Structure 1
Amino acid sequence: MNNQKFFSCCTSKYRQNGLALMISLILLVVMSLAGIALVRSVDTGVLAAGNLAFRQGATQAGQQGIEMARQWLTDNVALLNNDNPDQGYYANSQNFLDLTGNRTTTTADNVNWDGSGGASTPNCLAGDAQGYTVCYIIHRLCDTSGVALDSGTCTTKDGARGGSSLGAGRQMGTYQEGSWTDTTTFGYYRITIRTEGPRNTVGFLQAFVII
């Protein structure tokens, strides 16, 4: 009788110990899964923050490229009626171009940003200390190259016309014609920037300037 009670008591303890072990194993698995999920979440956050930082770096480098392209236009106003492919400049709009390489399936209408070929050649600047390389291509918004801005085939903006009028200074209020200066015609130019940086970061910027 005593042996039976002892056996029943020990069996109950073994069952309790086995149940506690199973619960502990389940909790261990749950905690491991939660730890893995936390690590993946942290890794994803770090990766997203890194990508954002590289994207911002590409944008800043691209803005510097826009300024350099604008400065080139300002320094070469007398030469802007004709193409200058070595400087990434084209005196017509080249509307057929696929500037980012994503609009069409062919590469024949691409800009040769990376040396793989294309219809037009950009001007690529030396890479900076952060590992960003900026290339730009400039288009004058005209139908054809080799024509002046006032040819009627370009998108232009007239400057303010200066001069003076003498008004009605004579007897009987006769109008006296004054002197007027000719208006200055300014052209529109489209600057397209491609920036390539660390971790295969590629960004595009575009700006329109009046020169």
Structure 2
Amino acid sequence: MKTLSKMHGPARERGVVLLFCLIILVVLLAGGVAVMRSMDTSLAGAGNLAFKRDLVNQGELAIAKAMREFNASGALAATGATSNNVAAANYSAVQLATNAQGIPEVLLKKTDLNGPDVLGNTFRPTGTPISGSGGSTVRYVIDRMCNATGTFASIGKSGCVYTPSKTETPGGDQSQLATPGPSVPSPPIYRVSVRVDGPRDTQVFLQASFTKPE
């Protein structure tokens, strides 16, 4: 007698494949979000670099204007004009006090610029700020790297930072020269410090130095 085999129904689906698909979808979603954030960060970084470069370019306007003050028609061109402060030209005849980063304290105030020099006297520049593009404002000060007012000849080299002449050797030892030349006054060094205030309370600081024979 033949026995009939039991009839088996279709195997029960346990949903394992569906679970793996959901995990893969979650991983792909997280990867897509990470890529989008990375792109946003890269775009923001590139935009910030371009923004900073634009502010630096606008800061060059102040350096150019400061240099023009020493030209023939400038406020600091005449003989002896650099011996004392010229507030209208944002010029201090005495070196200005700075913070740890070398920025003159006079430029650290948002408005009503004023700050001490190395002698403790308050310097208050009154020159008109430069209006840059995009709503930016450029402010600057010029200070002579000396510890007193007066002409460079009267202060002496011990009171100023100056550029050594060709007749001087490093360290000031004239005995090292085979043929010491005549004593030629070396011009002191002037420093231009610039602050550019841009949109969204951004700031850029620039500095440059130069010499001018006195």
Alpha-carbon distance, 1:99 to partner: 8.0
Match for residue 36 of structure 2 among 35, 39, 63: 39
Letter in 2 for 1:91: A
The one-letter amino acid of 2:131's match is: G
How far did 1:47 drift? 0.8
Correspondence for 1:177: none
- Aligned pair 1:138/2:139, yes or no? no
TM value normalised by structure 2: 0.70
Separation in structure 1 between the aligned mates of residue 191 and residue 152 of structure 2, nearest angstrom: 15
Q: CA deviation at 1:61?
A: 1.1
CA RMSD across the alignment:
3.2
Residue 87 of structure 1 and its aligned partner are, at CA, apart by 2.6
1:128: Cα distance to partner? 1.8
In structure 1, runs of 5+ residues without a counterpart are 104-108, 161-181
Task: Check 1:186–1:33 CA distance in 2 against 1; reply closer, same or farther (3 A cut).
Answer: same
**What is the aligned partner in structure 2 of residue 77 from structure 1?**
77
Unaligned runs of 5+ in 2: 116-122, 167-182
Does the CA contact (< 8 Å) of 1:93 and 1:141 recur in 2? yes
**Is the contact between residue 132 and residue 195 of structure 1 (CA under 8 Å) also seen in structure 2?**
yes
Higher alpha-carbon deviation: 57-66 or 116-125: 116-125
TM-fit CA distance, 1:195: 1.3
Aligned CA distance change for structure 1 residues 189 and 91 (closer, same or farther; 3 Å): same
Instruction: Say if 1:112 and 1:45 are closer, same or farther in 2 by CA, change over 3 A.
Output: closer
- Contact 1:113 / 1:121 at 8 angstroms: preserved in 2? no
Match of 1:154? 160
Decide which of 112, 115, 128 is 2:132's aligned counterpart.
Answer: 128
Distance in 2 (alpha carbons) for counterparts of 1:60 and 1:71: 17
- 2:58 pairs with 1:61: yes
For residues 138-173 of structure 1, the C-alpha deviation after alignment (integer angstroms, 9 at most, x for no partner) is 00122112x11211143445889xxxxxxxxxxxxx
| Structure with the greater alpha carbon radius of gyration | 1
**Deviant stretches of 4+, over 3 Å:** 1-4, 99-103, 109-113, 120-124, 153-160, 182-187
Deviations 1:72-102 (A, max 9, x none): 13312222211122332100113x3338688
| Secondary structure at 2:111 match in 1 | coil
Q: Secondary structure of the equivalent of 1:5?
A: coil
Q: Which moved more, 1:121-130 or 1:59-68?
A: 121-130
Partners of 1:72 and 1:99 in 2: CA distance: 28
128 and 117 in structure 1: CA distance in 2 versus 1, 3 angstrom threshold: closer
AA partner of residue 48 (structure 1):
G
- Aligned residue type for 1:114: K
Change (3 A) 1:124 1:187: same
Aligned residue pairs total: 178
Q: What is the one-letter code of the residue matched to 1:81?
A: S
Flag the structure with higher helix content. Answer: 1
Deviation at 1:205?
Answer: 1.2
